[in-house]
Structure 1
Amino acid sequence: MKTFLWSVTGVFALLWSGLAWAAASLVRWTVEALSTGRATELGKAAVEFKFPAWAEPFLDTGLLELLQSFVRWLMEIAGTGAPMAGTAIGWLVPVVWITWAFGLTVLVVIALLLHHLIKSLPRTGGGTATATR
Protein backbone atom coordinates (compact mmCIF):
# COMPACT_ATOMS: atom_id res chain seq x y z
CA MET A 1 0.00 0.00 0.00
CA LYS A 2 2.85 2.37 0.79
CA THR A 3 4.47 1.65 -2.55
CA PHE A 4 1.21 2.47 -4.31
CA LEU A 5 0.88 5.71 -2.32
CA TRP A 6 4.37 6.91 -3.23
CA SER A 7 3.95 5.82 -6.85
CA VAL A 8 0.77 7.88 -7.18
CA THR A 9 2.48 10.78 -5.41
CA GLY A 10 5.39 10.57 -7.86
CA VAL A 11 3.04 10.59 -10.85
CA PHE A 12 1.18 13.62 -9.48
CA ALA A 13 4.51 15.36 -8.79
CA LEU A 14 5.61 14.76 -12.39
CA LEU A 15 2.29 16.06 -13.74
CA TRP A 16 2.46 19.12 -11.48
CA SER A 17 6.05 19.81 -12.53
CA GLY A 18 5.18 19.47 -16.21
CA LEU A 19 2.28 21.85 -15.80
CA ALA A 20 4.51 24.38 -14.05
CA TRP A 21 7.16 24.08 -16.78
CA ALA A 22 4.49 24.59 -19.48
CA ALA A 23 3.02 27.57 -17.62
CA ALA A 24 6.43 29.19 -17.17
CA SER A 25 7.23 28.68 -20.86
CA LEU A 26 3.86 30.09 -21.89
CA VAL A 27 4.31 33.13 -19.65
CA ARG A 28 7.81 33.72 -20.98
CA TRP A 29 6.65 33.39 -24.62
CA THR A 30 3.62 35.62 -24.08
CA VAL A 31 5.61 38.37 -22.39
CA GLU A 32 8.30 38.27 -25.06
CA ALA A 33 5.67 38.32 -27.83
CA LEU A 34 3.95 41.31 -26.24
CA SER A 35 7.14 43.27 -25.70
CA THR A 36 8.46 42.68 -29.23
CA GLY A 37 5.14 43.24 -31.00
CA ARG A 38 4.80 39.73 -32.42
CA ALA A 39 1.53 39.23 -30.54
CA THR A 40 -0.01 42.20 -32.30
CA GLU A 41 0.99 40.77 -35.68
CA LEU A 42 -0.50 37.38 -34.77
CA GLY A 43 -3.68 39.07 -33.56
CA LYS A 44 -4.02 41.05 -36.78
CA ALA A 45 -3.57 37.88 -38.80
CA ALA A 46 -6.24 36.11 -36.73
CA VAL A 47 -8.69 38.99 -37.09
CA GLU A 48 -8.14 39.33 -40.84
CA PHE A 49 -8.29 35.58 -41.51
CA LYS A 50 -11.16 34.50 -43.77
CA PHE A 51 -12.26 30.90 -44.05
CA PRO A 52 -12.71 29.47 -47.55
CA ALA A 53 -16.23 29.56 -48.96
CA TRP A 54 -16.47 25.77 -49.08
CA ALA A 55 -15.84 25.53 -45.31
CA GLU A 56 -18.51 28.05 -44.26
CA PRO A 57 -21.42 25.55 -44.24
CA PHE A 58 -19.50 23.47 -41.70
CA LEU A 59 -18.58 26.37 -39.42
CA ASP A 60 -20.58 28.58 -37.13
CA THR A 61 -19.71 31.96 -38.62
CA GLY A 62 -21.33 33.86 -35.76
CA LEU A 63 -19.05 32.13 -33.25
CA LEU A 64 -16.01 32.81 -35.44
CA GLU A 65 -16.89 36.49 -35.73
CA LEU A 66 -17.33 36.66 -31.96
CA LEU A 67 -13.94 35.02 -31.49
CA GLN A 68 -12.31 37.45 -33.92
CA SER A 69 -13.86 40.44 -32.14
CA PHE A 70 -12.57 39.05 -28.83
CA VAL A 71 -9.06 38.74 -30.30
CA ARG A 72 -9.35 42.31 -31.62
CA TRP A 73 -10.31 43.51 -28.12
CA LEU A 74 -7.38 41.61 -26.59
CA MET A 75 -5.00 43.20 -29.08
CA GLU A 76 -6.24 46.68 -28.14
CA ILE A 77 -5.58 45.91 -24.48
CA ALA A 78 -2.21 44.34 -25.28
CA GLY A 79 -1.17 47.40 -27.24
CA THR A 80 -1.47 49.58 -24.15
CA GLY A 81 0.32 47.13 -21.88
CA ALA A 82 3.12 46.10 -24.23
CA PRO A 83 5.76 48.55 -22.94
CA MET A 84 5.55 47.22 -19.41
CA ALA A 85 5.32 43.56 -20.51
CA GLY A 86 9.09 43.23 -20.55
CA THR A 87 9.29 43.92 -16.84
CA ALA A 88 6.51 41.43 -16.09
CA ILE A 89 8.70 38.46 -16.98
CA GLY A 90 10.95 39.40 -14.08
CA TRP A 91 8.25 38.51 -11.57
CA LEU A 92 5.69 36.32 -13.40
CA VAL A 93 7.96 33.34 -14.01
CA PRO A 94 9.18 33.25 -10.38
CA VAL A 95 5.53 33.39 -9.27
CA VAL A 96 4.85 30.28 -11.35
CA TRP A 97 7.76 28.43 -9.73
CA ILE A 98 6.84 29.58 -6.22
CA THR A 99 3.32 28.26 -6.82
CA TRP A 100 4.86 25.01 -8.06
CA ALA A 101 6.98 24.68 -4.91
CA PHE A 102 3.99 25.37 -2.67
CA GLY A 103 1.85 22.81 -4.51
CA LEU A 104 4.60 20.18 -4.42
CA THR A 105 5.10 20.77 -0.70
CA VAL A 106 1.38 20.30 -0.06
CA LEU A 107 1.44 17.10 -2.14
CA VAL A 108 4.38 15.64 -0.21
CA VAL A 109 2.88 16.61 3.18
CA ILE A 110 -0.39 14.88 2.27
CA ALA A 111 1.57 11.81 1.15
CA LEU A 112 3.56 11.80 4.41
CA LEU A 113 0.36 12.02 6.46
CA LEU A 114 -1.20 9.17 4.51
CA HIS A 115 2.01 7.16 4.89
CA HIS A 116 1.91 7.64 8.65
CA LEU A 117 -1.78 6.73 8.71
CA ILE A 118 -1.15 3.54 6.73
CA LYS A 119 1.75 2.66 9.03
CA SER A 120 -0.38 3.10 12.15
CA LEU A 121 -3.22 0.87 10.92
CA PRO A 122 -3.41 -2.51 12.62
CA ARG A 123 -2.08 -5.32 10.48
CA THR A 124 -4.49 -8.01 9.47
CA GLY A 125 -3.42 -11.59 9.02
CA GLY A 126 -3.20 -11.70 5.29
CA GLY A 127 -1.72 -15.21 5.19
CA THR A 128 -3.53 -18.51 5.04
CA ALA A 129 -5.36 -19.32 8.20
CA THR A 130 -5.61 -22.86 9.40
CA ALA A 131 -8.83 -23.84 11.04
CA THR A 132 -8.67 -25.94 14.18
CA ARG A 133 -11.29 -28.57 14.84
Structure 2
Amino acid sequence: MARPIKETTDRSPTNLLVAMVLLGSGSFLWIRAALSAPSTLALTAAMDGCLTAGIAGVMLALLHGIRYRTALLTLAAPIVLVQFVASGATVPSFLPVLGLELTAFGLFGLPLSRLPQRRPTAPGSAHAMGPAHPSPS
Protein backbone atom coordinates (compact mmCIF):
# COMPACT_ATOMS: atom_id res chain seq x y z
CA MET A 1 0.00 0.00 0.00
CA ALA A 2 1.04 3.56 -0.52
CA ARG A 3 2.13 5.87 2.24
CA PRO A 4 -0.53 8.17 3.66
CA ILE A 5 -0.60 11.58 2.04
CA LYS A 6 -0.12 14.52 4.36
CA GLU A 7 -3.13 16.77 4.58
CA THR A 8 -2.77 20.50 4.15
CA THR A 9 -4.55 23.31 5.90
CA ASP A 10 -5.53 26.71 4.61
CA ARG A 11 -3.04 29.50 4.17
CA SER A 12 -1.87 31.20 7.33
CA PRO A 13 -3.28 34.72 7.81
CA THR A 14 -1.21 35.04 11.00
CA ASN A 15 2.04 34.64 9.08
CA LEU A 16 0.90 37.31 6.64
CA LEU A 17 0.17 39.70 9.50
CA VAL A 18 3.55 39.02 11.12
CA ALA A 19 5.34 39.46 7.78
CA MET A 20 3.57 42.75 7.05
CA VAL A 21 4.35 44.15 10.52
CA LEU A 22 8.01 43.15 10.19
CA LEU A 23 8.26 44.56 6.68
CA GLY A 24 6.64 47.86 7.63
CA SER A 25 8.54 48.42 10.86
CA GLY A 26 11.85 47.35 9.34
CA SER A 27 11.42 49.66 6.37
CA PHE A 28 10.47 52.53 8.65
CA LEU A 29 13.57 52.01 10.84
CA TRP A 30 16.19 51.99 8.13
CA ILE A 31 14.56 54.72 6.04
CA ARG A 32 14.30 56.93 9.14
CA ALA A 33 17.94 56.26 9.98
CA ALA A 34 19.02 57.01 6.41
CA LEU A 35 17.12 60.29 6.35
CA SER A 36 18.55 61.45 9.67
CA ALA A 37 22.17 60.85 8.70
CA PRO A 38 23.20 59.07 5.49
CA SER A 39 26.40 57.83 7.13
CA THR A 40 24.40 55.53 9.45
CA LEU A 41 23.99 53.02 6.62
CA ALA A 42 27.77 52.51 6.57
CA LEU A 43 27.94 49.28 8.55
CA THR A 44 30.90 48.13 10.57
CA ALA A 45 32.31 44.69 9.88
CA ALA A 46 30.91 43.30 13.12
CA MET A 47 27.39 44.55 12.43
CA ASP A 48 27.59 43.30 8.85
CA GLY A 49 28.55 39.87 10.18
CA CYS A 50 25.62 39.87 12.61
CA LEU A 51 23.29 40.91 9.80
CA THR A 52 24.54 38.09 7.61
CA ALA A 53 24.31 35.54 10.42
CA GLY A 54 20.78 36.58 11.32
CA ILE A 55 19.41 36.48 7.79
CA ALA A 56 21.31 33.35 6.73
CA GLY A 57 20.34 31.54 9.93
CA VAL A 58 16.65 32.19 9.42
CA MET A 59 16.88 31.26 5.72
CA LEU A 60 18.56 27.95 6.53
CA ALA A 61 16.01 27.21 9.25
CA LEU A 62 13.16 27.86 6.80
CA LEU A 63 14.79 25.62 4.21
CA HIS A 64 14.96 22.81 6.75
CA GLY A 65 11.24 22.98 7.46
CA ILE A 66 11.11 25.02 10.65
CA ARG A 67 7.98 27.14 10.76
CA TYR A 68 8.23 30.86 10.09
CA ARG A 69 7.26 32.15 13.53
CA THR A 70 9.37 29.50 15.27
CA ALA A 71 12.42 30.50 13.22
CA LEU A 72 11.87 34.14 14.15
CA LEU A 73 11.58 33.42 17.85
CA THR A 74 14.32 30.82 18.21
CA LEU A 75 16.93 32.19 15.79
CA ALA A 76 16.31 35.82 14.95
CA ALA A 77 15.40 37.10 18.40
CA PRO A 78 18.61 35.88 20.13
CA ILE A 79 20.79 37.24 17.32
CA VAL A 80 19.11 40.65 17.54
CA LEU A 81 19.57 40.60 21.31
CA VAL A 82 23.28 39.85 20.89
CA GLN A 83 23.57 42.67 18.37
CA PHE A 84 21.90 45.07 20.78
CA VAL A 85 24.11 44.06 23.70
CA ALA A 86 27.28 44.09 21.59
CA SER A 87 26.58 47.54 20.23
CA GLY A 88 25.73 48.87 23.67
CA ALA A 89 22.70 50.57 22.11
CA THR A 90 24.96 53.53 21.34
CA VAL A 91 26.28 52.64 17.91
CA PRO A 92 24.20 54.58 15.39
CA SER A 93 24.25 51.66 12.95
CA PHE A 94 22.16 49.38 15.18
CA LEU A 95 18.79 50.73 14.03
CA PRO A 96 19.52 50.43 10.30
CA VAL A 97 20.81 46.88 10.84
CA LEU A 98 17.70 46.00 12.82
CA GLY A 99 15.59 47.60 10.11
CA LEU A 100 17.33 45.65 7.36
CA GLU A 101 16.88 42.39 9.26
CA LEU A 102 13.20 43.04 9.95
CA THR A 103 12.65 43.96 6.31
CA ALA A 104 14.33 40.74 5.17
CA PHE A 105 12.30 38.66 7.64
CA GLY A 106 9.13 40.32 6.39
CA LEU A 107 10.08 39.62 2.78
CA PHE A 108 10.68 35.95 3.67
CA GLY A 109 7.28 35.76 5.33
CA LEU A 110 5.23 37.14 2.45
CA PRO A 111 5.55 34.10 0.15
CA LEU A 112 5.53 31.72 3.12
CA SER A 113 2.17 33.07 4.26
CA ARG A 114 0.65 32.26 0.87
CA LEU A 115 1.78 28.62 0.90
CA PRO A 116 -0.48 26.02 2.52
CA GLN A 117 0.81 24.65 5.80
CA ARG A 118 1.35 20.92 6.11
CA ARG A 119 0.21 18.89 9.04
CA PRO A 120 0.78 15.18 9.49
CA THR A 121 -2.17 12.83 9.44
CA ALA A 122 -3.38 11.35 12.69
CA PRO A 123 -1.43 8.23 13.69
CA GLY A 124 -4.58 6.11 13.94
CA SER A 125 -5.66 6.92 10.39
CA ALA A 126 -2.55 5.52 8.73
CA HIS A 127 -3.06 2.10 7.19
CA ALA A 128 -0.73 -0.60 8.39
CA MET A 129 1.11 -2.46 5.68
CA GLY A 130 0.66 -5.71 7.50
CA PRO A 131 2.36 -7.57 10.32
CA ALA A 132 6.11 -7.40 10.53
CA HIS A 133 8.01 -10.43 9.27
CA PRO A 134 9.73 -12.51 11.93
CA SER A 135 13.46 -12.18 12.17
CA PRO A 136 15.43 -15.02 10.51
CA SER A 137 17.72 -15.35 13.51
Which TM-score band applies after superposition, normalised by the shorter structure?
0.3 to 0.5
- Higher-helix-fraction structure: 1
Larger RCO: 1 or 2 (CA < 8 Å, sep 6+): 2
Q: TM-score, normalised by structure 2?
A: 0.34
- Higher-strand-fraction structure: 2
